[in-house]
Amino acid sequence: MVELRHVKVLQQGRTILSDINFEVDRGEFVYLLGPMGAGKSTLLRLVLFEERPDDGVVFVGDYDSGSIREKDIPFLRRRVGTVFQDFRLLSDRTVYENVAFALEVIGISGKKVKQRTLSLLSAMDLIHKRDAFPEHLSGGEQQCVALARALANDPFVLLADEPTANLDRDTADLVMKILGDANARGTAIIMATHDKSLVERFRRRTLKIEGGRVVQPK
């Protein structure tokens, strides 16, 4: 599903990631644990092919960072769900339209778009907010909309960058339940977090980024 082999990343001459090696199999749930600035977001961008490694290779599905063509990247991203730290919601579209858009761009029919979108919003407890615009939502509600959009296409892998940051405990627990349900249906989850207490409460396979390398947490 996802594999990094001897991956190295330099930024402005400084080594951010060095000799990163790990793989995530179908249906796995993996935490990338580390403090802010450890390189977690960079690693997720590598998997999304927003960045390329300076050395080593990133494999995602049938593609790899050494040979993937630029025109193929959008097709891959349709199968990879992403929840960004800054949500990246469309400010001029309602909650419903933000989620539906992810289905419309790949040619799903109107009836199926409506069914899938309403089902996701119901799971997120956001049906009553479907006509609201992002600016009128709380941070937790925006995060749930972003998560619904990321899951709309039933991705084979979902990348979640600090999805519970700045959320109250109840909302964070809801986000973790939704991620767990998606994982149970077969979606692999790679979740970057610095929240050790959350990792303790929702135990999954954990990889720690320390000094630019992936190490086993103690």
pLDDT tens-place string over residues 162-209? 999 888 898 899 899 999 999 999 999 999 999 999 999 999 999 999
Residues 160, 217 within the same domain: yes
Same domain? 15 vs 122 = no
Asked if residue 84 is part of any domain, the answer here is no
Q: Structure pTM? A: 0.92
- Least confident interval from 21-25, 51-55, 106-110: 106-110
75 lies in the same domain as 3: yes
70, 3: one domain? yes
What mean pLDDT do residues 134-141 have? 94
pLDDT over 70, % of the chain? 99
Same domain, 73 and 165: yes
The number of folded domains in the chain is 2
Instruction: Determine the structural domain holding residue 22 and report its residue range.
Output: 1-79+156-218
Position 145 confidence tier, pLDDT thresholds 50, 70, 90: very high
Say whether pLDDT at 105 is over 70. Answer: yes
Residues 6 and 75 in one domain: yes
HSE toward the beta carbon, residue 149, CA cutoff 13 A:
28
pLDDT tens, 41-70?
A: 999 999 999 999 999 999 999 999 999 999
Q: Is the pLDDT of residue 217 over 90?
A: no
Q: What is the average pLDDT value for the chain, to the nearest integer?
A: 93
pLDDT at 100 over 70: yes
Judge whether residue 218 has pLDDT over 70. no
Tokens of 174: 């809801």
Which own/partner pairs from 117-126 qualify as long-range (CB within 8 Å, at least 24 positions apart)?
117/148, 117/152, 120/148, 120/151, 120/152, 121/95, 121/96, 121/148, 123/148, 123/178, 123/181, 124/148, 124/174, 124/178, 125/174, 126/95
What CA–CA distances, in Å, run from 157 to 60, 195, 209?
9, 21, 20
